[in-house]
Amino acid sequence: MLLAKEINNVTAVLTFIIFVITCQDIAVDAWSVEILSEENVEYGSTCQSLGMRVGVFISGSVFISLSDQKFC
């Protein structure tokens, strides 16, 4: 019974996080379309994708480094 309650709590928290991430993604897309000039609008998506990939790579590398006992 306790495990089912924990699964429900984790599911609720993760669903909320995904909802917030989705809202943030839509807001950033709309903001980039509105702030960029018409000839530069296509670069907004490229910059967002590149920034996400760089962020994932850097945060993953830092996490792996901090998980290593020799590094810490």
pLDDT higher than 70, residue 1: no
Place of tokens 């924990």: 6
Give residue-wise pLDDT tens across range 13-52: 999 999 999 999 899 888 988 998 888 888 888 888 898 8
Could you write out the DSSP letters of every residue in 15-54?
HHHHHHHHHHHHHHHHHHHHHS-GGGHHHHHHHHHHHHHH
pLDDT at 27: 93
pLDDT at 67: 83
pLDDT higher than 80, residue 2: no
Of 28, 6, 10, the C-alpha closest to 18 is 10
Give the Cα separation of 52 and 68 in Å (integer): 24
pLDDT higher than 90, residue 11: yes
pLDDT higher than 90, residue 10: yes
